[in-house]
Structure 1
């Protein structure tokens, strides 16, 4: 029964997100209301707020961070930390990109171009950095990751953010996974420290 409820919650969350992005693309972020998103998804506006605290959170919330944390943790510990993050990210990104390219592009454009979202973008980036730090750390250290893990995580988030920004600036015409790979190449050429 609990499993069924969780599946229903996930379906509703996805329906709200899909409706929001469809409306953002058609009418713009500012002109799309929470009530309109809820109606498009077939739920009440109160239901919307059970899933997302605000309209901004539809865009800011990143469901990939917990997955990336686990993928990093699953990498062989003898690999250098930067390589662990790179291999984890690059094992997941191509499939997500193939399935959700347009949604990723719209989300990224919104984050970079909408003042209300841009001002809160640090929250989303902090979530990714924390996921990377936790994935690189011993489970006993996840509350206070070592400095080196924090540095590697921060550098990786900066590199990936730069790749995504370049992709958006190109109008999404480039290949995002290839840009991310180039960003990781640039980091590795700098000799980012091992944790």
Structure 2
């Protein structure tokens, strides 16, 4: 991330990343298949789903997601969240990464559909479950795009507002 910030994403090479990490390029490729993968790797999704599943069962799936945002705010160190925020901004700013991120959004729908299925006793491939998961991903994407455009925005606060708006039925 430091190299991407200093030189720009496109100008940074795998050889430079490997040198900065004090590894060989071949070792780099054992961990990441592409330069894109270094930025697109998101360690938080599984953690978020686990935290959402741990929420009280009486909460709706949306209620559990909102409670998860509060939990993450309380347990995630500020510097770790700031690194994640910088990663998200880079993904949303670089056209090459934005395009590649579409696969990640599809994975997000799968993760959320699995979560909703577990909470509701429905099938993860069911129309309503996948439609709900797609709506959540759309709302999250809109929140990230909005907060990425504002360096002062508290992304977790914007995310909670976005999910609350979804919970209210997305009134205009």
- For this structure pair, what is the TM-score category when the shorter chain's length is used for normalisation? 0.7 to 0.9
Aligned counterpart, 1:12: none
Q: 1:159 and 1:101, CA in 2 relative to 1: closer, same or farther beyond 3 A?
A: same
SS at match of 1:190: coil
**TM-score, with structure 1 as normaliser:** 0.77
TM-score between both structures, scaled by the size of structure 2: 0.86
Tell me, in whole angstroms, the C-alpha distance in 2 between the residues paired with 1:32 and 1:40.
11
User: Partner of 1:39 in structure 2?
Assistant: 19
The number of residues matched between the two structures is 170
- Unaligned ranges ≥5, structure 2: none
In the aligned structure 2, how far is the partner of 1:58 from the partner of 1:111? 11
Q: Structure 1 regions of 5+ residues with no counterpart?
A: 1-20
Kindly report which structure 2 residues correspond to 1:95-114, keeping only aligned pairs within 5 A, or say none: 95-96=75-76, 98-114=78-94
Cα deviation digits, residues 27-72 of structure 1 (max 9, x gap): 1101110111011011111111111110001111111121122222
User: What is the aligned-residue RMSD (CA, Å)?
Assistant: 2.4
Q: CA 1:105/1:66 → structure 2, altered by over 3 Å: closer, same or farther?
A: closer
Query: Given the alignment of the two structures, is residue 118 of structure 1 paired with residue 98 of structure 2, yes or no?
Result: yes
Distance 1:136 1:99 in 2: 30
* Structure 2 residue corresponding to 1:68, chosen from 40, 45, 48: 48
Q: Indicate conservation of the 8 Å contact 1:68/1:132, yes or no.
A: no
Give distance in 2, aligned partners of 1:191 and 1:109.
25
The ranges of structure 1 where at least 4 consecutive aligned residues each deviate by more than 6 angstroms after the TM superposition are none
Corresponding position: 1:182 with 2:154: no
* Partner residue, 2:132: 152
